[in-house]
Amino acid sequence: MQTSTQTEIETYLDSLNWRYATKEFDRDAKLPEPVLEGLLEAVRLSASSYGLQPYEIQVVSDPEVRQKLRAAGWDQSQITDASHLLVFTYKTDFGPELVESYIDRVSETRGVEKAKLNGYSDFMKSKLMDLPREQKSNWTARQAYIAVGNLLSAAAVAQVDACPMEGFDPVKVDEILDLGSRNLSAAALVALGYRSESDATQHQNKVRRTRQELFTHI
């Protein structure tokens, strides 16, 4: 097993210190397509509970749609000015098909007979299917946030600026993107691009709880 060296983690921490929730994007600076594709792949590779990935991501390029989303998003300029805007949506409800499509994928990807996966399939269904709808959607939204976190870290490593946003009216965003008809709802937006030189926030020190406050060693 290869162990991570101090240098690698230091490089990663440098990236995390470099990133910040960008308030002002350079409107002319566009992400090269391969960089965007790499970041989307990082989202696709995110861990999720049981591997079910109960979410979808909308990559919004249409300027008119982004203008409408900005109005529903506290008029935050990042929504229209960043190179790209991703909307992370979670399933507001699901049935056995969520587990069954996953089992199909496992069988195909790993060349395992579906019958051999019946036990695991039944186990997942027993844990998930009887949950009240609200608990289901709380759970799916949590899975979507893991993907958001993964994207933010990947963007930092790629020296791409990002702003995660919860500052929006989800009812309006769901309406604009017609998410309700597909049992989806918006959890978070992430603007991606390059910071404007005039964004003062980039010069501010990071505010974080101390390690003592954050970690308990038992």
| Interface ranges with ligand FMN (CB under 6 A) | 20-21, 23, 76, 163-167, 188, 206
Which of 204, 207, 174 has the alpha carbon at shortest distance from 24? 204
Which residues does 35 contact at the CB level (< 8 Å), separation at least 6? 158, 160
Residue 217 Cβ vs ligand FMN, minimum distance, rounded to whole Å = 25
Nearest CB to ligand FMN, comparing residues 122 and 166: 166
Cα atoms in the Cβ-side hemisphere of radius 13 Å centred on 196: 14
Q: How many CB atoms lie within 10 A of CB 142?
A: 15
Q: Least distance from C-beta 31 to ligand FMN, angstroms? A: 19
CB of 81 to ligand FMN, least distance (A): 12
CB 57 within 8 A of CB 91: no
Q: Which is nearer to ligand FMN, 38 or 167 (CB)?
A: 167
- Name the residue nearer to ligand FMN (CB basis): 103 or 160: 160
Q: Which is nearer to ligand FMN, 37 or 166 (CB)?
A: 166
